[in-house]
Structure 1
């Protein structure tokens, strides 16, 4: 499997805001952290992944949810090791429809496919850069030192919150909304 790129935004965009070189190690670490946070909240890699193989359990239902979307191409589907032809794909939603009705329960379904976005949507890149800028500027200073019975406290590190733009981008790109209950 060719995995996703480490960043969901161009380091040059963050570098321009911070007036730092795009190769700055701290800048790249902040961009990687913001990208990881976004991917975690939307529950998929977002960027293009090719030849990804996933193992799913049969559900007894006609539709099978893939763990990432949009689906660019499905190269193989197997049910308990046997190739299955004629599977229909809902690309944007990441759904597979069994050609004979239902995916057998307790079956192991193996799917090899390409998924994700290339290029990364502008709304995603923008909020990732904004979050990375905040992460970069957050001071990871020591908050408290205790020695024996003496304790000294320093100013607390600023929390990295989210903006309304972040919330909207996450909601727009998140998968598997049905398991929020």
Structure 2
């Protein structure tokens, strides 16, 4: 697996901030752990996935949301066993909106729609900055904040760490997870 697929942020950025080598095993472990944690909390890889197949419930509405965005391609939409035609039966947007065309609505039935689509970002240059920042913050905390320690005094200086920083649930982390987590197949 290439580093751009494994990590959700550039190891060189974390290395520069912390004054470490970008091939430092502890730095790479912390970044890998933060990337895995983010992926686990949003329930998808974030990086590019080609031809992902999902089965969706119909909404009874004209539009519905695909679970993961950005959408880069929709290669097939099958409704109750019949393949639909893009531009005639449906259209889609990179925001993950799948719209029924011709004054029609998606049926209001469970598991009636199978969609094959590609989604995600290609490498660090495309991954949104808020994801990268949240992952870099978590990796830095993993390297610099001792687990379970909230306060530390050395030679007359005292440092107190908040529980959020130690656990990784900072406001930036929470906002990024909420923004990019898998969406329910609700109306658009």
Matched, 1:90 2:93: yes
CA distance in structure 2 between the partners assigned to 1:25 and 1:53 by the alignment = 36
**TM-score where L is the length of structure 1:** 0.71
Q: In the alignment, which residue of structure 2 is the partner of 1:73?
A: 73
Q: Deviations 1:99-153 (Å, cap 9, x if unpaired)? A: 3522221343211111123411223212211111111234458xxxxxxxxxxxx
Backbone CA RMSD of aligned residues: 3.1
- Determine helix, strand or coil for the equivalent of 1:72: strand
**TM-score where L is the length of structure 2:** 0.68
Larger mean CA deviation between 34-43 and 114-123 belongs to 34-43
CA distance in structure 2 between the partners assigned to 1:122 and 1:161 by the alignment = 17
Q: 1:161 aligns with which of 168, 174, 177?
A: 168
Larger mean CA deviation between 132-141 and 111-120 belongs to 132-141
What does 1:1-181 correspond to in 2, within 5 Å? Answer: 5-85=5-85, 86-92=89-95, 94-100=96-102, 101-104=104-107, 105-118=109-122, 119-139=126-146, 159-174=166-181, 176=183
- Determine helix, strand or coil for the equivalent of 2:36: helix
Larger mean CA deviation between 169-178 and 132-141 belongs to 169-178
Q: Deviations 1:16-66 (Å, cap 9, x if unpaired)? A: 233333233332222122223333444543322222221223333322221
Instruction: Give the length in aligned residue pairs.
Output: 160
Which consecutive residues of structure 1, in runs of 5 or more, have no partner in the other structure? 142-156
- Determine helix, strand or coil for the equivalent of 2:6: coil
- Given that residues 71 and 117 in structure 2 are in contact (C-alpha distance below 8 angstroms), is that contact kept between their aligned partners in structure 1? yes
- Given that residues 47 and 117 in structure 1 are in contact (C-alpha distance below 8 angstroms), is that contact kept between their aligned partners in structure 2? yes
